[in-house]
Structure 1
Amino acid sequence: MDEDKFSDGLRTYTGRALIQRPFFPIYVLLGVSYLLVFIGFVVSLSKVATVSSELHKMHADAAREPFGHDSHLFPCGTDTRQWEYSNGKCYYFSLKAIPWHQAKAECEKQQSQLAVIKSLAEQNFLQTRTRNERFWIGLHDLHTEGEWKWLDGSNYITGFKNWKTGEPNTYLNQDEDCGQLWINGQWNDFVCTSNSYYICEKPLPKAT
């Protein structure tokens, strides 16, 4: 009799276990699903915060730049895209040949001056842009023959020089009082009333 009750009890317990056990994996899967949803929610919030921070930084950078993102493409200013940048200066290479004094005036109209060459690095940059043509620069001895001066007052005597062999000189008794880059990039003195292309230079615009 006791054995029958034990057998019946065992069958009853086993039946209950068989009924309840299949629900356990479902509860586990639901728990894992909720956990994954929570993790995804946290990750999404983190990404939103990161994007918001980057957008804020971009707006701040744009406010600091005088020309916005275009300043990287046109460091000399978006309204002066024909100017070329090199080592802190902006240069304009003219497309027309005119006398030296007129070239000087044209540069001044653009808040600049005829180029003053102060180093070998600057010389190399300019001569790569002026190859096979002649360009006026801001060098002259108009006031006293043989006393060459730069327009910005830089010390000519102790400064960089790159004259052609035999230059400066006088050709056919003509006063050659204005300096220019010759076709190979070396300096040449020439008659100021002659026509040559010209190079203007100005400092890199500062942020406002």
Structure 2
Amino acid sequence: MEEEKQEGDFRTYKERNWLSYTQRSDFSIYALLAVSLLLSTIFLIVAVSKAVALSSEWTELYAELPKKMVGHDFDLFPCDPNTRQWEYFDGKCYFFSLEKTSWTEARAQCEKRASQLVTIETMAEQNFLQTRTRNERYWIGLTDRIIEGHWQWLDGRDEQTGFTFWKRGEPNDDHLGEDCAHIWNYGEWNDVYCTYPCYYICEKPLRDMRPHQQG
């Protein structure tokens, strides 16, 4: 009888200890979950704050980037960063047309671009132009329309007193009325009638086209 009572007391003790252990384990689990949830919430808040701050910094950076890039664009394309038809060489900007037209219309088109048909002054300039024209016909600003046989550039300079690069035997006024000059094969100059359809080259001095910065 005594033994049965002891076994019952021991069983009751074990059940109480197990219940107490289970309760403590449940509490520990809930506590860990609560701490984990708190840490996750804090981490999320910090991450969102960082993301907002970073987004604001990137927004400011992208707002400033176009202003900074403008200067670099003009370093790479000093004549006009918005078009590749204007090219820079030795202090001047040159426009190479994509369409053919008469000499008179070519002159007018250059004037619309605040420029004039090209005047070629040196061998270096000649070399630059002939590498761009690639044996195509391009009008230049040289004509004898005012006085037959007296070739002048549009800026008033006499062709005979400066640099020339006529093809051998030119100018010859072969068909009569060949009063305008163009660059032809190997960049050599040739006279032809002024209504002949050719590409054209405009030129103008390089000007500071950078936008004014407000201080």
TM-score, normalised by the number of residues in structure 1: 0.65
Amino acid at match of 1:184: Y
> Take 1:155 and 1:80, find their aligned partners in 2: how far apart are those partners?
33
The answer to which structure has the higher helix fraction is 2
Amino acid at match of 1:141: D
> Take 1:169 and 1:94, find their aligned partners in 2: how far apart are those partners?
27
* 1:166-185 to 2 correspondences below 5 Å: 166-172=169-175, 174-185=176-187
> Take 2:191 and 2:182, find their aligned partners in 1: how far apart are those partners?
6
Amino acid at match of 1:192: C
Point out where structure 2 has 5 or more consecutive residues left out of the alignment: 1-63
Match of 2:17 in 1: none
Q: Quick check: 1:79 aligned with 2:82?
A: yes
> Take 1:82 and 1:194, find their aligned partners in 2: how far apart are those partners?
22
Render the CA deviation track for 1:170-199: whole Å, top value 9, x for unaligned.
Answer: 223x21000100122000001001101100
CA-based RMSD: 2.0
1:89/1:204 contact within 8 Å kept:
yes
> Take 2:136 and 2:142, find their aligned partners in 1: how far apart are those partners?
17
Match of 1:189 in 2: 191
What is the number of equivalent residue pairs in this alignment? 145
TM-score, normalised by the number of residues in structure 2: 0.63
User: What's the % identity of the aligned pairs?
Assistant: 58
| Deviation for aligned residue 1:122 | 0.3
> Closer, same or farther in 2 for the Cα pair 1:144/1:155, shift >3 Å?
closer
Please tell me whether Structure 1 or Structure 2 has the larger radius of gyration of its CA atoms: 2
* 1:55-204 to 2 correspondences below 5 Å: 67-172=70-175, 174-204=176-206
Regions of 4+ moved over 3 Å: none
| Structure 1 range deviating more: 142-151 or 74-83 | 74-83
